[in-house]
Amino acid sequence: MTSLRLHDSMRRQKVAFEPLQPGKVGMYVCGPTPYAPAHIGHAYSAISFDTIRRSLKFLGFDVRYVRNITDVEDKIIKAAHESNEDPMALAARFTDDYNRDMARFNVMAPDIEPKVSTHIAEIIALIEKLVANGSAYATEGDVYFECDTFKPYGQLSGQSLEDLRAGASDRELVEKSKKSSADFALWKAAKPGEPFWDSPWGKGRPGWHIECSAMTHSHLGETFDIHGGGKDLIFPHHENEIAQSQGAYGTNTFARHWMHNGFLNFGGVKMSKSLGNVFGCGEIAKAVGGEALRFFCVKHHYRSPIDFEVEEIRSADGTPTGVRFRSLEAADRDLEYFYITLQKIDAFGAGDDGAVLPDAEKLITSAREALADDFNSPKVMAALHEAATLANKLLAEGKGLDKQLRKRSIARLGKDLRTVGDSLGIFSADPAVYLRERRARLVERKGIDVAVVEGLLAERVAARAAKDYARGDAIRTELGGLGVELLDTPQGTDWRVHDDAS
């Protein structure tokens, strides 16, 4: 097993990863609050940690991956009231939606997907423990965690309680029943019309943070290896989780490593509803395909903020008619190169057993080294490109090479491209299916009439058969004007949509 180094948000540097049990990883990632359709930001976070999970597997670890669903929360209740729907039903609906959307991006289902609603007893037990040991106090049906009882508070986010109080008082957020503005709710008394559960403090529901402390404990134990989530969750969510869990179980418990992924920005600006730059997963998948987004994400390092180019399309009179995802379109072009290469490799056939060219067996090692260095997926991309280039070279030119050695090497490259691709969640589609779907997307985007194309194509085949090259070239030019490129091969003529940046 390769020794792994990862960036730990708590220590703010790359550290050696030492799992509690050799070869095993217990990992918890904060999942969504399902109150609306998932957007591309949810996807980025899910993809980032799915890639880490897959990479850990690739590196030889046995991973237990837990991703929660916050199905009891203010936003759900609010959305349910607006749509006159039962909150739990609404959450269940959007949970299914979320999982279906993530599947578009090859995000694997978690090993365990705990929900707040099925962990109420564990949550109450944890709160009781905190009340009993003096870390929390009940007031008017609410229970708050008292931050002053937890000395290390603020370690993860680098905030001090004094600074936080100063900031809070400016905004008049001090709730009357709290001892201090920094204290946060573990349990909230139910208001009329809200879902509730019975508890020692009356009818109510859990606060936002406590679920993760309870669920990690249930499914991974007091101490586990990795806790992950989006950068925005560092404060207050993860800070509060630490306070709760360590307040209950001791300061050497809870997550041994913290990992956070960067944000997705649009033109250098954060995504937000007010700026109108929130894009749904379905919209992305329809425009460029799910794998293009995945590919785009893993081309970047998970900790970097990634910038996303979106262009508004307007008709001649200036009316917005849609958007183009330029960065994703570019990623899709890059992805196509790999699928075309894989298709050619597959068609070339398998070789017999035996040695391969030295350069044809470097990919796995390169990928392992790159991923073991804080999951450097962009570095893996470079290795994938090198391997694909070599495969294409061997496919095009067999001169001076032993026939079987060449065949074995090409087959090996194909196998390793898929193995390494799998560690990033890419290249798992059938090349023919991918290429067919991609062409369909481009036909749609460019408004190409397939019947016209195929008619001209048939005409050109006839002209070339009659050695009427002038007519054939004229048709090529005509199709070029429609945005269609012809690919003459020994097997016949295929066509593709010319995909430049325009």
| Site for RNA, residues 23 to 52, rule: CB under 7 A | 30, 32-33, 41-42, 44-45
* Least separation in angstroms between CB 131 and RNA: 22
Cis upstream peptide for 236 (omega within 30°): yes
CA distance 165 to 173: 10
Q: How far from 199 is each of 121, 205, 208, 248, CA to CA, in Å?
A: 9, 9, 16, 19
- Nearest approach, Cβ of 149 to RNA (angstroms)? 19
d(CA 417, CA 428): 10
Nearer to RNA, 283 or 334 (CB): 334
Distance (Å, rounded) from C-alpha 285 to C-alpha 59?
30
Of residues 68 through 87, those in contact with RNA by CB under 7 A are: 74-75
Shortest Cβ distance from residue 480 to RNA (Å)? 8
Asked if residue 306 binds RNA (CB under 7 A), the reply is: yes
Q: Does 381 bind RNA (CB under 7 A)?
A: yes
- Both structure tokens of 275: 């700026």
CB 209 within 8 A of CB 202: no
Do residues 83 and 77 touch, judged by C-beta distance below 8 A? no
Residue 173 makes contact with RNA by CB under 7 A: yes
State which of positions 90-149 bind RNA (CB under 7 A).
none
State the SS3 of 351-401.
Answer: CCCCCCCHHHHCHHHHHHHHHHECCCHHHHHHHHHHHHHHHHHHHHCCCCC
Site string for RNA, 320-339 (x = CB under 7 A): -------x--x--xx--x--
Which of residues 93 and 129 has its CB atom nearest to RNA in the complex?
93
301 binds RNA (CB under 7 A): yes
Measured CA angle at 469 (ends 465, 473), to 5 deg: 120
The least CB distance from residue 444 to RNA, in Å, is 20
Buried b (16+ CB within 10 A) or exposed e, 3-24: ebebbbbbeeeebebebeeeee
Nearer to RNA, 88 or 340 (CB): 340
Q: Which amino acid is at 141?
A: G
Q: Which is nearer to RNA, 253 or 370 (CB)?
A: 370
**CB-count burial class (<10 Å; 0-12, 13-18, 19+) for 241:** buried
> Which of these segments, 50-58, 166-174, 243-251, 345-353, binds RNA (CB under 7 A)?
166-174
Q: What is the number of other CB atoms lying within 10 angstroms of the CB of residue 62?
A: 13
What is the nearest approach in angstroms of RNA to the Cβ of residue 353?
Answer: 26
Contacts of 359 (CB under 8 A, 6+ apart): 390
Here's the x/- map for RNA, 179-218, by CB under 7 A: it reads as: -----------------------------x----------
Number of residues that bind RNA (CB under 7 A): 80
The nearer residue to RNA, 253 or 339, going by C-beta atoms, is 339
Region near RNA per CB under 7 A, out of 60-68, 152-160, 356-364, 429-437: 152-160
340 scored as a contact of RNA (CB under 7 A): yes
Q: 254's torsion region: left (phi>0), alpha (psi -120 to 50) or beta? A: left
**Shortest Å distance, C-beta 385 to RNA:** 4
DSSP per-residue string spanning 89-150 = HHHHHHHHHHHHHHHHTTPPPPSB--BGGG-HHHHHHHHHHHHHTTSEEEETTEEEE-GGG-
Is 488 an interacting residue with respect to RNA (CB under 7 A)? yes
Nearer Cβ to RNA (177/223):
177
| Binding of residue 272 to RNA (CB under 7 A) | yes
Q: Is 428 in the site for RNA (CB under 7 A)?
A: no
157 makes contact with RNA (CB under 7 A): yes
Q: How far apart are CA 192 and CA 259, in angstroms?
A: 39
Residue among 116, 136, 119, 140 nearest 127 (CA): 136
- Tokens encoding 217: 């404990």
Minimum distance from residue 152 beta carbon to RNA (Å): 15
Joined together, the tokens standing for residue 163 give 């600074």
Question: Is 231 a residue that touches RNA (CB under 7 A)?
Answer: yes
Binding residue for RNA (CB under 7 A) from 11, 81, 286, 393?
Answer: 393
Whole-number minimum distance, CB 491 to RNA, in Å? 11
* CA 225 – CA 20 distance, rounded (Å): 7
Is 312 or 337 the residue whose CB approaches RNA more closely? 337
* Smaller CB separation from RNA, 270 or 314: 270
Q: Which amino acid is at 390?
A: L
Q: Of 89, 103, 121, 269, which one interacts with RNA (CB under 7 A)?
A: 269
Among 245, 261, 235, 226, residue whose Cα is nearest residue 154? 235
Shortest distance, position 424 Cβ to RNA, whole Å: 13
User: Using CB under 7 A, which of 140, 447, 487, 492 touches RNA?
Assistant: 487
Residue with smaller CB distance to RNA, 24 or 393: 393
CA distance 469 to 463: 7
Asked whether position 268 contacts RNA by CB under 7 A, the answer is yes
454-483 residues near RNA, rule: CB under 7 A: 464, 469, 472-473, 476
Q: Between 5 and 129, whose beta carbon lies closer to RNA?
A: 5
**Judged by CB under 7 A, which of 88, 161, 310, 395 binds RNA?**
395
